């Protein structure tokens, strides 16, 4: 079956074409979101298959690249010309991240681990676990190795009028009953589920469930899954989009802040 229909409440109004292998574990989340959010999804194994079986009313194309196999540039240009009004994303798997070759047409290049930071803008609105459906945080603890690293996070929280504090180690004696914790990988690296649970327990609140985000340089799929299984709500790859973190705290960000990315 080459077309997967979506449930009610479309965010995408046309057909999304997924080109490539959707069974790659790193692509699971992206494909799930595409099925949930597009009006319909047309599946094609490769670019040539799309030329043999064109799709109708295409508004988005995801080229999911799991290997570094070269793209047939003339063929791809022809396809892009046929669907010139469609938004094009190159979703790259772990084997392709070091490949700096660009597609021959304008596109958005997204590593698989950054999908959760771009999906909202790709589909034009909040998606998945919409942060607005949760009670947003009014206070946040920032866990980094040094104050210089913490400053960006503290400034971000301040821009949203949220109380923020900095810790350079996992120590619940320094701060208690915060609503959210931002864990930077300068202090907290990958760990198994049990270790992550021990970390999160240090910042348990007697007032409400604490929301956790881990900000890291990439991270393998199994490492990200371990963190999420333990209770991390968001695993965010660096360089990160600040609006992804702002969604965890209460006030709306200043317009000037939302236009830039944090390093």
Percent of the chain with pLDDT over 90: 51
User: What is the mean predicted confidence (pLDDT) over 37-59?
Assistant: 94
Is the pLDDT assigned to residue 69 strictly greater than 80?
yes
Same-domain check for residues 251 and 136: yes
pLDDT at residue 87, rounded to an integer: 92
Q: Are residues 176 and 106 in the same domain?
A: no
In this model, does residue 258 exceed pLDDT 70? no
- 182 vs 245: CA distance, rounded Å: 9
pLDDT at 250: 62
Q: State the average pLDDT for the chain.
A: 83
Tell me how far apart the alpha carbons of residues 35 and 199 are, in angstroms, rounded to a whole number.
34
The DSSP symbol for 93 reads -
Ranking 183-187, 228-232, 259-263 by mean pLDDT, the lowest is 259-263
172: pLDDT strictly greater than 70? no
CA distance 134 to 128: 12
165 pLDDT above the threshold of 90: yes
Q: What is the phi-psi region of residue 20: left when phi exceeds 0, alpha when psi lies from -120 to 50, beta otherwise? A: left
Q: Where are the alpha helices (DSSP H) in the chain?
A: 28-37, 47-52, 73-82, 115-123, 147-159, 193-201, 221-230, 242-246, 255-258
Question: Do 33 and 127 form a contact (C-beta atoms < 8 A)?
Answer: yes
Single out the residue in 123, 156, 173 at which a domain terminates.
Answer: 123
- pLDDT (tens digit per residue) in 96-142: 877 878 888 888 899 999 888 888 778 875 443 444 445 677 899 99
- What confidence category does residue 8 fall into, taking pLDDT thresholds of 50, 70 and 90? very low
Look at residue 263 and tell me if it is in a domain. no
Query: pLDDT tier at 156 (50, 70, 90 boundaries)?
Result: very high
Integer Cα distance of 165 and 182 in angstroms: 10
**Residue after which a domain boundary falls, among 61, 91, 123:** 123
Total domains in the fold of the chain: 2
Is residue 31 domain-shared with residue 107, that is, in the same domain?
A: yes
Predicted local distance difference test score (pLDDT) of residue 257: 40
Burial class (CB in 10 A: 0-12, 13-18, 19+), 16: buried
Cα separation of 149 and 166, whole Å?
Answer: 10
99 and 212 fall within a common domain: no
pLDDT (0 to 100) of residue 129: 44
Q: What is the pLDDT of residue 248?
A: 80
Domain boundary among 123, 147, 174: 123
Is 192 strand, coil or helix? coil
| CB neighbour class for 119 (10 Å; exposed up to 12, middle 13-18, buried from 19) | buried
- Residue 4 is predicted with a pLDDT of 41
In a domain, 182, yes or no: yes
Tell me, what's the pLDDT at 59? 93
> What pLDDT was estimated at residue 6?
36
As given in the structure block, the two tokens for residue 237 are 């790859």
Enclosing domain of residue 180: 132-258
Chain centroid to Cα 113, Å, comes to 6
The residue to which tokens 């409440």 are assigned? 9
Cis peptide before 143 (omega within 30 of 0): no
Cα separation, 109 vs 13, in Å, equals: 22
* Count of other CB atoms within 10 angstroms of residue 109: 17
């Amino acid at each position: 079956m080459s077309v997967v229909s979506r449930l009610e409440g479309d965010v995408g109004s046309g057909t999304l074409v997924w080109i490539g292998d959707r069974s790659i574990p790193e692509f699971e989340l992206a494909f799930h979101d595409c099925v949930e959010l597009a009006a319909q999804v047309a599946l094609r194994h490769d670019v040539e298959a799309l030329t043999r079986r064109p799709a109708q009313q295409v508004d988005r194309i995801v080229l999911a690249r799991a290997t570094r196999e070269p793209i047939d540039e003339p063929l791809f240009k022809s396809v892009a010309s046929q669907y010139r009004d469609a938004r094009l994303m190159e979703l790259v798997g772990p084997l392709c991240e070091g490949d700096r070759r660009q597609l021959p047409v304008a596109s958005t290049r997204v590593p698989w681990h950054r999908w959760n930071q771009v999906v909202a803008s790709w589909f034009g609105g909040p998606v998945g676990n919409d942060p607005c459906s949760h009670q947003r945080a009014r206070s946040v603890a920032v866990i980094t190795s040094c104050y210089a690293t913490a400053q960006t996070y503290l400034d971000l929280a301040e821009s949203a009028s949220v109380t923020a504090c900095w810790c350079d180690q996992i120590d619940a004696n320094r701060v208690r009953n915060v609503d959210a914790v931002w864990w930077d990988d300068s202090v907290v690296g990958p760990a198994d589920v049990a270790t992550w649970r021990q970390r999160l327990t240090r910042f348990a609140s007697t007032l409400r469930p604490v929301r956790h985000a881990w900000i890291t340089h990439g991270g393998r799929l199994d490492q990200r899954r371990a963190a999420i299984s333990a209770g991390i709500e968001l695993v965010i790859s660096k360089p990160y989009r600040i609006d992804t973190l702002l969604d965890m705290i209460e006030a709306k960000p200043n317009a000037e802040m939302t236009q830039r990315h944090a390093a």
